[in-house]
Amino acid sequence: MKALRHFLPRPLNLAALLLGFAAASRAQAAAEISEVVSLDTFEIFADRAPAADNSAIEQRRLTLPEPFTGVTREEFGRRANRRAGDIVARLSGMFMGGPPGENKDARGRGLDKEYTRAQVDGLALPDGGEKRELQLNRIPADLVQEVRVLRNPSPEFESDGFAARLDFRFRPAPEQRFFAETRLAAGGRNRTGATRQLGSMLLGGRPLPSLGWLASFNYLDDPTYKVKAEEEFAPATGVLRKSVPERETKPTRARDLYLDASWRYAAGEFHLKPLRLDLREPKTKTKTTFDFTKPASTDETTDLERENKGKLGEGLSLTHRHTFGLGGHSAEVDSRLSWQRVTERHLEAKTTDSFKETAGRLVLDKRTTETEDKADATRAFDTKLSLPLARGAHLVKAGLALRLRDRNRDKVKLETKGAVTTDTTGPKDNYAIAENYYAVFAQDSWRATDRFTLLAGARSELVDFASRTPASADAAHTFRDFNPNAQLNYRLRGDTALTFAVSRAVNRPKFDELSPYEQNDGKKVTLGNPDLRPARAWKADLGLVHRRASFFVAANLFAHDVTGLIESIQTGELRSSLPVTQVRNVGDGRVHGLELEQRVGFAWTRLRPLAGLTLWANQTWIRSEVREFATGLARRFSGQPDFLGHLGADYELGRIYLTASLQHIGARPGDEASADLKQQRAENTVDAAIHFRLGRGLSLFVEGNNLTDAFKNERTLKADGTRVSKIERTGRAWFAGVRHAF
């Protein structure tokens, strides 16, 4: 809390802010026609819902002690979304890594992707990344019903990932006898002549009261054209020393299938959910280097890279909910059994042809080929018992979870130079991992009064981890964590609530970091670290939520005290005259900040041109500090922006629906644990969409992403004074199509 007191005066005066919100609320309440009637925990809003209705999420935030934010399909359904990452990119405290337009990796509270976890319908889906992240471009947005950002999850959620946990819920089977929704669109990008295509179909219904189903097919053909440029300037003189232009074409294609088949009976229901996510990413890249320190006849080298990579995710889950009497109370048991597998492989060998300029002509110098097969499979079971006691004043939950994971990577790299072929496969390139996860939890949500709810509990987790590489001995690790949790919600009045939560969380190491390997790539020596420990954090959140039918505002203070932060650093050692790099627990640190959210609708004005207008925004201020064990020096977390902001408008008038949003990501310092100082400049990205309703569920739409043509801009100052400038851009993108629902 000391960190928060130090932080608050810098961005704003919180007391003045909250008083302003309260005054605005009172002024609006006097003008609104609607009346709010409080009946215990239920509220009735009489006025018309705003054009973009996120009322279900907002109402739960008033009553639940768990601090979270989120969005439902009623709000994001008509925005410019193709994949799940496009939805998450607009949420409070979140941004996506990589260049604009490739929303793959989620980053919570400004931290790197390795600190954020995601689950889909309660399942942690495996993925190919080494940092335990779920790449959100795998999930079609048309399947998503709701996304929540769990800022400080209760004990019934896994403790791994202390920045944020993304909770995706897929669309349920419809209650009507038959439902169908189709979407077809085509478009393009301003930097390529290739055509973008999108198609989706959802079918479902409930032919009998006991039987329900929802089937989905999604297709996306989304070619990207990425342009990079790098320039290197000599120290002291600032003379241009190198220029490296790069062009990459990647015609990404996704084909996804999903089914939810359910059977209800008097005391519960079963769901069978097969899922298939097929992503293909062929790629062609040309990288040319002009080295102006060499003679003009030998200053050019060119690498031509061709790759065809596929990622196939397959899974099957069976869920069961059953209600029964227990000791005079109505108890409920929720259980889930699942199998999930993702395979990532080169469908064709990745080849890189390297050319060098000799006497003014480019000549083939060498060819590098690479094949890789990566597989990650999980078998999981979890169950929990929910038991209301004391006439509903207490809701006790207890449960257990286990997940058995097998992960392996087989990679072969060959370099051919002239008639000689050399195997350049490194010790880190091949491994086999077995990770077994076991957990139990218990919690009690106690509604002490009509206004006060307290949740307290704990989660105990044990992880057995074993890794093996061809060049090292087997390494085995056991990590044990006991993570307590306390949360409260106090209703100041029917439309205003105060929340507080404190918990302990962990962040487990990357998959390929724990093996005792040594890899020399000619520029540096990289060491594995079998002594690596998970990073652990105490988290605290203090929030205020205020909601009326046409007005919503929330403020949330957060602080993370982190021990054993994991980062890759230069150790200062030399091996074979090369610097040594190793992932280590480099120090302790803290992250603290403030998250604000606002929404205002104008239905209360009774003016027809304004009745369908909703304005929304969120802002996040972030500060951090890491104190290194080795040097005692203090610095920021790597790659963390000071500020994140989103501003948007949704407007419905007659048959027309307009929506637009602006995302701002503040400047980000790079990896200051190394000898180089990096700085990524701020980005501003605008997305927009327009829908025209023709009638009977038929509408036309046009969507645009990255309309400002934002790009990644990075500056680096190396230890020797060399300056490097890098830019990376993907351009604007658009879709036009038709949607039909009946």
pLDDT digits (tens, 9 = 90+) for 484-495: 999 999 999 999
Listed range (44-48, 98-102, 433-437, 529-533) with the worst mean pLDDT: 44-48
Q: Output the furthest CA–CA distance in the chain (Å, rounded).
A: 91
Structure confidence at residue 407 as a pLDDT band (50, 70, 90): very high
**Residue 674: closest CA among 580, 591, 585, 588:** 580
Q: CA Rg, the chain, in Å?
A: 27
Could you give the percent of the chain with pLDDT greater than 70? 92
Task: Report pLDDT for 273.
Answer: 98
Report pLDDT digits (tens) over 447-457: 999 999 999 99
What mean pLDDT comes out for the span 239-258? Answer: 95
Structure confidence at residue 686 as a pLDDT band (50, 70, 90): very high
3-state helix, strand, coil in the chain (%, to 5): 10, 65, 25
In angstroms, the CA 612 to CA 45 distance is 17
- Residue 296: CB atoms within 10 A of its CB come to 10
Report pLDDT digits (tens) over 326-335: 777 889 999 9
Let me know: does 543 contact 556? Beta carbons within 8 Å: yes
> Using the 8-state DSSP alphabet, how is residue 235 labeled?
T
Length of the chain: 742
Q: Is the pLDDT of residue 226 over 50?
A: yes
Give the 3-state secondary structure of 117-178.
EEEECCECCCCCCCCCCCCHHHCEHHHEEEEEEECCCCCCCCCECCCEEEEEEECCCCCCCC
What mean pLDDT comes out for the span 143-154? Answer: 96
For residue 38 the two structure tokens come to 């409080």
In angstroms, the CA 305 to CA 311 distance is 19
The residues near 33 (Cβ < 8 Å, ≥ 6 apart) are 46, 47, 604, 606
Task: Report pLDDT for 35.
Answer: 34
Q: What is the mean pLDDT of the chain?
A: 89
Let me know: does 662 contact 686? Beta carbons within 8 Å: yes
What mean pLDDT comes out for the span 574-590? Answer: 89
Report pLDDT digits (tens) over 483-531: 999 999 999 999 999 999 999 999 999 887 877 788 887 788 888 888 8
Report pLDDT digits (tens) over 346-401: 999 999 999 999 988 999 999 999 999 999 999 999 999 999 998 889 999 999 99
Q: pLDDT higher for 97 or 551?
A: 551
For residue 380 the two structure tokens come to 């999981």
Report pLDDT digits (tens) over 51-99: 455 678 999 999 999 999 999 999 999 899 999 999 999 999 999 987 7
Listed range (38-52, 140-154, 609-623, 705-719) with the worst mean pLDDT: 38-52
What mean pLDDT comes out for the span 722-733? Answer: 93
Q: Is the pLDDT of residue 481 over 90?
A: yes
Listed range (144-148, 728-732, 737-741) with the worst mean pLDDT: 728-732
Task: Report pLDDT for 671.
Answer: 55
Angle at 513 between CA 509 and CA 519, to 5 degrees: 165
Listed range (40-44, 290-294, 351-355, 532-536) with the worst mean pLDDT: 40-44
Q: pLDDT higher for 102 or 20?
A: 102
Task: Report pLDDT for 473.
Answer: 66
What mean pLDDT comes out for the span 603-622? Answer: 94
**Residue 49: closest CA among 464, 614, 473, 596:** 614
Let me know: does 36 contact 494? Beta carbons within 8 Å: yes
- Residue 356: CB atoms within 10 A of its CB come to 15
Q: The tokens 């935030």 sit on which residue?
A: 61
In angstroms, the CA 506 to CA 490 distance is 28
Q: Is the pLDDT of residue 583 over 50?
A: yes
Task: Report pLDDT for 675.
Answer: 63
Q: Is the pLDDT of residue 576 over 90?
A: no
Q: Which residues pair with 679 in a beta bridge?
A: 669, 715
Q: Is the pLDDT of residue 245 over 80?
A: yes
Structure confidence at residue 16 as a pLDDT band (50, 70, 90): very low
For residue 671 the two structure tokens come to 């990896």
Q: pLDDT higher for 662 or 42?
A: 662
Q: Is the pLDDT of residue 673 over 70?
A: no
**Measured CA distances, 27 to 255, 340, 564 (Å):** 51, 53, 49
First to last CA, the chain: 53
In angstroms, the CA 647 to CA 563 distance is 35
Q: Is the pLDDT of residue 418 over 50?
A: yes
> Using the 8-state DSSP alphabet, how is residue 427 labeled?
G
Let me know: does 369 contact 382? Beta carbons within 8 Å: no
Side chain identity at 202, as an amino acid letter?
L
In angstroms, the CA 696 to CA 155 distance is 45
Task: Report pLDDT for 5.
Answer: 40
